[in-house]
Amino acid sequence: MPIFNVLCQIDAFANYVAEVEAQTADEAAELAYDNHSDYKWIHDCNQEFDNRIYFTLDTDGVEIESTRQGRT
């Protein structure tokens, strides 16, 4: 029986945290959004959530779209 390589993609976030001086929590988020490079971002954690997609890979390692299984 043949053996195939199957890719499982799991959705995830890479979380980073920075100290932002501001008058309010809303202002802090706005400043961080508008001026991302002004802050030192420290990796906090990676979070996965259960939204998985599976593909069989061809011999070049490319996903075969017709084999897609799972949530989209």
The 10s digit of each residue's pLDDT in 14-72 is 999 999 999 999 999 999 999 999 999 999 999 988 889 999 999 999 999 999 998 75
Strands 6-17 and 42-56: antiparallel
Q: What is the rounded CA–CA span in Å between residue 55 and residue 70?
A: 9
φ/ψ region of 61 (left if φ > 0, alpha if ψ in -120 to 50, else beta) reads left
Specify whether the CB–CB gap between 42 and 23 falls below 8 A: no
State residue 48's pLDDT score. Answer: 85
CA proximity to 12, closest of 44, 49, 45: 49
